[in-house]
Amino acid sequence: MIQKRIAIINDVSSFGRCSTAVILPIVSHLGIQGCPLPTALFSNHTGYDSFFRLDFTRFMRSYMDEWHKLGLLFDGIMTGFLGSEHQIDICRDFISEFSKPQTLAIVDPVMGDNGRIYSTYTPRMCKAMKRLIKDAHIITPNLTEACFLTETDYRPGGWHQQELTDMIYRLRDMGANQIVITGIRMGTNFIGNAIMDAQGVVTFQRQQIIERIRSGTGDVFASVLGADAVNGVPFEESVRRASRFVRSSLLASEKFDNQTPRDGICFETALAKLKKI
């Protein structure tokens, strides 16, 4: 038997439950060896009033050189928050150099939310992200990111299925053949996803909304999707499972008096249920 590996190209935030700190335990729980390649080191994520940050860009290729010496190749390559155009280009090189014929590249284009692009993102980075998407098999943009990538006017709600279908096909034209647009308000009480599988079939899923938003939910969602993809779980089934796990984790988080929204999603207490969802 050969255990599968996923390379995790993302920042390491030691407190606040996001990025690699979330992805690594989830993919490990699902039987995959997670191998982090840091893009930056944070004492805690940037949603807090202050934080320590060490940009890891100048060390990333040294990591890659050592992995080349070990002859490492990966079954999956996951990318998340990237801090510069240079880091995006490094990710493209990584996918080229560390892939096997069956390797899956899963790109979470972490660019913005709630209709706004993050302040760290420049127009050049947005163009570079479109280049990275060309190398991806699976992408997981939220609604804001999908709108920016396709140059569609953003609005928080009131989307028709045909509009979302058109947007998802424009995303497919950029390169990826499995896509999920997350965080779509569907009516007053529901939030859902627009999904396109490898055969080009578009479907929609929804679940009752939990109004209290916490950091790291997108990382939890992408973690399940990445591990499931490498494990051969059908895409639509995986999206449903990831959504249910996020909801279960959000509900679990509400039980703790000492966990504020910026402290992240308490996925640890729901992890034992993940394989059963």
Q: pLDDT-based confidence at 213, cuts 50/70/90? A: confident
Encoding tokens for residue 198? 């490898």
Q: What is the mean pLDDT of the chain?
A: 95
Q: State pLDDT tens for residues 90-138.
A: 999 999 999 999 999 999 999 999 999 998 889 999 999 999 999 999 9
Could you give the CA distance from residue 260 to residue 241 in angstroms, rounded to a whole number? 25
At the topology level, CATH places domain 5-276 in UDP-N-acetylmuramoyl-L-alanine:D-glutamate ligase (3.40.1190)
Q: State pLDDT tens for residues 151-210.
A: 999 999 999 999 999 999 999 999 999 999 999 999 889 999 999 999 999 999 999 998
pLDDT for the residue numbered 212: 79
How many Cα atoms occupy the beta-carbon half-sphere of 183 within 13 Å? 22
Asked if 40 and 68 count as a contact pair (C-beta separation under 8 A), the reply is: no
With a pLDDT cut of 70, the percent of the chain lying above it is 100
Encoding tokens for residue 59? 């060390």
pLDDT for the residue numbered 120: 84
Q: pLDDT-based confidence at 275, cuts 50/70/90? A: confident
With a pLDDT cut of 90, the percent of the chain lying above it is 93
Whether the per-residue pLDDT at 211 is higher than 80: the answer is: no
Q: pLDDT-based confidence at 227, cuts 50/70/90? A: very high
Distance of CA 236 to the CA centre of its chain: 16
Q: Show me where the domains of the chain are located.
A: 5-276
Mean pLDDT on 242-258: 94
Mean pLDDT on 68-76: 98
Mean pLDDT on 54-79: 98
- Dihedral pair phi/psi, residue 85, rounded to 5°: -60, -35
**The residue to which tokens 């928050």 are assigned:** 81
Q: pLDDT-based confidence at 276, cuts 50/70/90? A: confident
